């Protein structure tokens, strides 16, 4: 995920949610894995994410040239609105990035080209924000059902109705159904 170029820096908001101390984690070469659902990713909701969106992100911390290295890998699914039929479409998303947390823009310019600098306090890194950022970058520009829309919508509906055991099958409307029950 280096498409933005090595000198593009992303400012991190000042009000982190459950920040981690990346310096300590890097000293242990720790790996942190977190699961995120749409409810915890407000910017993904604003970008069109629908209930059923969720992902797992693995963060690997290390000492890197110029700062603290964070290698992240995300794997999940996002439910968006198909731009052809305007019904929900489940899109698998994955992405990897090699970041380095630096103190300021000057330090960012020293970072080797194979890592993307992020200006933040290394002892106060907001992983949720990072995860959300990665997912936003992985979103398709124009979400569409792969096959003909009507067939795809039917097969997604069948996956819900037939109550396939947990785990294997994606159930994009599950959360939506729960929401409707609560109303």
Binding-site ranges for Zn ion (CB under 5 A): 82, 84-85, 145, 149
Considering the complex, state which of residue 115 and residue 145 has its C-beta at the smaller distance from Zn ion: 145
Using DSSP bridges, classify how beta strands 88-102 and 116-119 pair: parallel, antiparallel or unpaired.
parallel
Tokens of 4: 């933005």
Three-state secondary-structure class, residue 130: helix
Considering the complex, state which of residue 27 and residue 150 has its C-beta at the smaller distance from Zn ion. Answer: 150
Least distance from Zn ion to the Cβ atom of residue 145, Å: 4
How near is the Cβ of 82 to Zn ion at its closest, in Å?
3
Q: How far is the CB of 173 from Zn ion (least distance, A)?
A: 15
Choose between 80 and 102: whose C-beta lies nearer to Zn ion: 80
Instruction: Tell the smallest beta-carbon distance from residue 144 to Zn ion (Å).
Output: 6
CA distance 168 to 162: 13
Q: Are 100 and 65 in contact (CB under 8 A)?
A: yes
43: left (phi over 0), alpha (psi -120 to 50) or beta: alpha
Residue closer to Zn ion, measured from CB, 68 or 80? 80
């Amino acid at each position: 995920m280096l498409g933005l170029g090595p000198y593009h820096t992303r400012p991190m908001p000042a009000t982190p949610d459950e920040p981690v101390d990346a310096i300590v984690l890097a000293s242990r070469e720790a790996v942190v894995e977190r699961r995120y659902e749409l409810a915890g990713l407000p910017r993904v909701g604003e970008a069109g994410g629908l209930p059923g969106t969720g992902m797992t992100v693995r963060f690997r911390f290390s000492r890197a040239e110029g700062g603290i290295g964070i290698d992240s890998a995300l794997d999940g699914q996002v439910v968006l609105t198909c731009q052809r039929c305007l019904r929900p479409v489940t899109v698998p998303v994955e992405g990897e990035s090699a970041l380095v947390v630096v103190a300021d823009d000057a330090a960012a310019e020293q970072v080797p080209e194979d890592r993307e600098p992020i200006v933040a306090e290394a002892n106060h890194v907001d992983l949720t924000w990072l995860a959300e950022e990665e997912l936003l970058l992985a979103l398709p520009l124009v979400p569409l059902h792969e096959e003909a829309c009507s067939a795809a919508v039917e097969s997604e509906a069948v996956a819900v109705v037939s109550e396939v055991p947990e785990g294997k099958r994606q159930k994009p409307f599950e959360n939506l159904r729960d929401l409707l029950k609560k109303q």
